[in-house]
Structure 1
């Protein structure tokens, strides 16, 4: 069987088009093991297929590797620029979308790209992507992107008008966020009389779905103690805050700096304690120029 047929068969197995009985599992593993990631057959696949092939091959070779360690392995062991570009950019995008920009693994992969790449193409692509996420990193180092969104009552809510308050935003896109929304209602009730904390929910809506959102918010009484805002999927708000996976939470301090834009969720144990602790600590801290470097 030639290499392209092996790859197509393996991809079919991945999406469940073909089912093998348990006795054939070893045959499937052998097929993955036969794939040469530098072959012309792999290069002829589209990006999604290449990513699937790499993940399946490396699951067999190195089952403990996460996607970043796989990306590093690809950089050091695969010559095909197409395979390297497809997989490494996918891994960086996935990491940034889920965890935002940090100084650890992302920078490590950027250094691996610099060391292993023959041209600047992959390095430049990765830098553009990382720079975009770097602009909204936490730690009170960067200004939160300005926004102006419509509320349930039809008013324009602007971030600049909330300066002087801690702003906690919960960004969501449907009824699958009911658990978080119920916790957000409790958070809103807790801070309803606060003069320095503002809790927002931002619904990401398809075009012409505003009425359905309004009915849902009113039915579930989400707007009793929360400002309920909405935006569209391709809005500047979504682009500026690099929102590709939902739900997302963003905490902004009273000076308009991002405290945390990833890694926090109302569903996490101790979330209310965390939010109280962060707000109380930031209130007590004098503003230092070092906070913003």
Structure 2
């Protein structure tokens, strides 16, 4: 009992203390009185990789976890408590929240508690794991609850809550499909079921870590449903952005996509993307950002030996039967080269998409070459048998590490795609549209129409 009173005294003392500021922000405290005596709690910032902001163990069912924040941040609080479990929290610098389990109820108190109690309640009432609701219904119910709330804190933070709710909704819809394009474990294309094409995207969605990737997936779905036309391979960012009604979000989306294109080193196209999208921008700061991004393109020099027009007709590779194949063997057809290895899960994930694209473009003057980069030929041969790979399968004789073709086009990570013209000359040594991206088909048809 004395320990409990001591902990209570500490908690009360912390609750009335003013926030202390450090170099990395204001002290923010989460405390708990759990239903279980032993266990632990952790706090993570949402992202492509979870960033841990705190971790602590229970002492007689209680814990205190201190961290710092510079700005309001959506986090994930996880606990081993069977009642609290884990939930999203929206923490502001200086918050001091106590989580108490009372019977089967979870009660939050202290600074920042009202907003997070609301979040806890709607997350548990409308849960994506609840089979009685579709993802769209969960999202709609949460949005309705946020809009209907009379709580002053909820009203004050409504825009942020709606943005996060939308980001989470799209992540629940597209997340597993996006992950499947990285894992590469199956031979099927497990498309996300999405028909919410009239979804009103809100600018606050940018607070969600993968916001632009899920918006891309909406655009791809619209393309495949015939609801969005991409004029050519240079206009896809502009064409996508035009469908976004909110000007603030439209501009943020353009800047993010152009920046991401440069990050992926889409060096032969990124200036064209920027040129086509620039008329959509009104904010001078965003125009400056685009100019700064395109200004960095020429500093990327690793592809200087494979600029458009470079002759690769004599590049030689190994066929499965041990004979040699040259690029010149495919003269008269455009070539999409897919560079992959058996150990590369994202490479394998693209295979069913490549097969689908090849089928859709059957009869056209384009050939699809799957160029393997394994060092040991047996790995390649065994993988082809295991996955029943057909089509044009070729291999770098010495693997990625020592292959002259790979060195000339610029050594990078894989999967990697390159396009060569009908004369064996390079068109694009760093094509960043993968087969899973419907813009690649637009690009190839555009080349074939010339």
Which stretch shows the higher mean deviation, 167-176 or 266-275?
Answer: 266-275
Cα displacement string for residues 40-96 of structure 1 (whole angstroms, at most 9, x for unaligned residues): xxxxxxxxxxxxxxxxxxxxxxx9xxxxxxxxxxxxxxxxxxxxxxxxxxxxxx957
Aligned to 1:108: 295
Q: CA deviation at 1:110?
A: 8.3
Q: CA deviation at 1:156?
A: 0.8
Structure 1: 4+ residue segments shifted above 4 A: 15-19, 94-97, 101-107, 190-194
Q: Would the aligned equivalents of 1:151 and 1:230 in 2 still touch at CA under 8 Å?
A: no
Matches within 5 A, 1:116-195: 130-138=300-308, 141-144=309-312, 146-173=314-341, 174-190=344-360
Aligned to 1:213: 380
Q: Is it true that 1:244 corresponds to 2:412 in the alignment?
A: yes
| Residues in 1 aligned to 2:366 and 2:304: alpha-carbon distance in whole angstroms | 26
TM-score, scaled to structure 2: 0.35
Q: Would the aligned equivalents of 2:328 and 2:423 in 1 still touch at CA under 8 Å?
A: no
Aligned to 1:202: 371
Cα displacement string for residues 248-285 of structure 1 (whole angstroms, at most 9, x for unaligned residues): 1111111223223322210113543442x224312xxx
| Residues in 2 aligned to 1:190 and 1:179: alpha-carbon distance in whole angstroms | 18
> 393, 406, 412: which is aligned to 1:227?
393
Q: CA deviation at 1:132?
A: 3.9
Return closer, same or farther for 1:237/1:18 CA change in 2, 3 Å cut-off: same
| Residues in 2 aligned to 1:179 and 1:229: alpha-carbon distance in whole angstroms | 19
| Residues in 2 aligned to 1:98 and 1:105: alpha-carbon distance in whole angstroms | 15
Higher relative contact order (CA 8 A, sep 6+): 1
Aligned to 2:196: none
Unpaired segments ≥5 residues, structure 1: 1-5, 7-14, 28-62, 64-93, 112-125, 283-293
Q: Would the aligned equivalents of 1:181 and 1:222 in 2 still touch at CA under 8 Å?
A: no
Return closer, same or farther for 1:159/1:263 CA change in 2, 3 Å cut-off: same
TM-score, scaled to structure 1: 0.50
Aligned to 2:427: 259
Number of matched pairs: 186
Aligned to 1:69: none
**Between Structure 1 and Structure 2, whose CA radius of gyration is higher?**
2
| Residues in 1 aligned to 2:345 and 2:297: alpha-carbon distance in whole angstroms | 38
> 261, 266, 269: which is aligned to 1:99?
266
| Residues in 1 aligned to 2:407 and 2:369: alpha-carbon distance in whole angstroms | 18
| Residues in 2 aligned to 1:201 and 1:95: alpha-carbon distance in whole angstroms | 25
Q: CA deviation at 1:26?
A: 4.3
Return closer, same or farther for 1:108/1:215 CA change in 2, 3 Å cut-off: same
| Residues in 2 aligned to 1:16 and 1:107: alpha-carbon distance in whole angstroms | 30
| Residues in 2 aligned to 1:200 and 1:151: alpha-carbon distance in whole angstroms | 11
Return closer, same or farther for 1:147/1:16 CA change in 2, 3 Å cut-off: same
Q: CA RMSD in A?
A: 4.0
